[in-house]
Amino acid sequence: MARGDDHATQPWVEKYRPRRLDDVTQQHETIRALKQLLYGSGGSSLTEKVASLPHLLFYGPPGTGKTTTALALCRELFQNITNRETLQNRVLELNASDERGIRVVREKIKRFAQSSIEESVDAQVPGFKIVILDEADAITADAQTALRRTIEVHSRTTRFVLICNYLSRVIPPLASRCAKFRFKALEDGAVIARLEHIARTEGMGPLPPEASRLLAKAAAGDLRRAVNLLQSCADWARSADGSQRVLEPEMVSEAACMVPASVVERFYDICVSRNEPVTACFEVLRGGYPVDELLRQTLELLLLDSGTPPAQVQMNDLQRSAIALHMACAEKYLCDGATEAVQLLAFVANCRSVLQASS
């Protein structure tokens, strides 16, 4: 784990990873509940009840603090272990970068759970270990089924923390064994507050409101993305002599690679007009914008648009919903790995047939 003096050579996302539960931004309910489990109703010493800590399941979108919280939790749980023991004795982290076939996982967990820990009468050192199963979405259903048993066998000495992006990817029998905590996408206000704190610490000076608003919008609730963007903007705004220029909103939208409104409008136009679509579509594709992002922003335009779209097309609600359905389908296909060009062409074709069907 990172030591203080290594910070200089780390990307900001790692440098500013909170080390204590209190420093985690926004996830108030989760943090409050976790602290309740650790410290009871107050104080800074662990309660007796910590011995009955349940298995935990954290879920939520990327960059919202799940891994961070799990690590901070372990750090606080084992803050009082004697120096003959290390955190590594107590915490096993298994993530998608580890081989997680059924057999391997079972072996690893078994070996870890059986290694002895210091018997202590002190309530300040919990008498169990923690296994963090990060990125559990990537564990196959079969392996998860096998895990059920493993968790049961070792639950006297070991607590599990499962982390995933989608709750639906964890099989219900496994999920039901855990106390679940949802990590929400961060609100813009919370993102901005955190970014301002980092900017201050880095000596960037105050962030212009317009720039920080844009940063938050581009991050869409993903704090990691926001921090990455802030860092790249900071590099961008640094003059040759090392002094900082003011962060321009243009720098932010450029750095965030947002699909510019003009491109979204142009694409919307292609969808609803009757001009030759193929050349126009490939023109859009040559821009290299992520197509799923483009579709998402087009949907916004479609839903907002109240009958006076750019291309003088009247659309009723039925048509609107039909198009939204096509969009959902395209998005699903893209998520599963389909090709941008084909899906984009098909979406345009589908929009047009919806509009032509009734006219």
Ligand X SMILES: Nc1ncnc2c1ncn2[C@@H]1O[C@H](COP(=O)(O)OP(=O)(O)OP(=O)(O)O)[C@@H](O)[C@H]1O
Site residues (CB under 6 A) for ligand X, limited to 139-168: 165
Look at the block and give the residue holding tokens 């996982």.
105
Closest approach of ligand X to the CB of residue 73, in Å: 12
Q: Which of 25, 144, 150, 212 binds ligand X (CB under 6 A)?
A: 25
Closest approach of ligand X to the CB of residue 56, in Å: 14
Q: Which of residues 137-166 bind another protein (CB under 8 A)?
A: 137-138, 165
Tokens of residue 212, six digits: 């920080």
Q: Which of residues 57-86 bind another protein (CB under 8 A)?
A: 61-63, 67
The item of ligand X, another protein, Mg ion, none sharing an interface with residue 25, based on CB under 5 to 8 Å by kind, is: ligand X
Do the beta carbons of residue 67 and residue 59 sit within 8 Å? no
Q: Which of 43-51, 117-125, 148-156, 342-350 is the region at the interface with another protein (rule: CB under 8 A)?
A: 342-350
Q: Shortest CA distance to 113 belongs to which of 142, 156, 72?
A: 156
Alpha helix (H) ranges present in 183-276? 188-201, 209-219, 223-237, 249-255, 261-272
Work out the number of other CB atoms within 10 angstroms of the CB of residue 177.
17
Query: Should residue 90 be labelled a site residue for ligand X when binding is judged by CB under 6 A?
Result: no
Q: Shortest CA distance to 278 belongs to which of 327, 184, 323, 344?
A: 344
Q: Which of 33, 299, 301, 349 binds another protein (CB under 8 A)?
A: 349
Query: Should residue 229 be labelled a site residue for ligand X when binding is judged by CB under 6 A?
Result: no
Q: Which of 79, 95, 155, 157 binds another protein (CB under 8 A)?
A: 95
Closest approach of Mg ion to the CB of residue 256, in Å: 21
Closest approach of Mg ion to the CB of residue 74, in Å: 14
Gyration radius of the chain's alpha carbons? 25
Report helix angle 291-304 to 340-357, nearest 10. 20
- Using CB under 6 A, count the residues that bind ligand X: 21
Q: Which of residues 191-210 bind ligand X (CB under 6 A)?
A: 194
Work out the number of other CB atoms within 10 angstroms of the CB of residue 236.
14
Closest approach of ligand X to the CB of residue 217, in Å: 17
* DSSP symbol at 99: -
* Amino acid in position 230: L
Kindly report the length of the chain.
359
Residues that bind ligand X (CB under 6 A): 13-14, 16-18, 24-27, 62-68, 165, 194, 223-224, 227
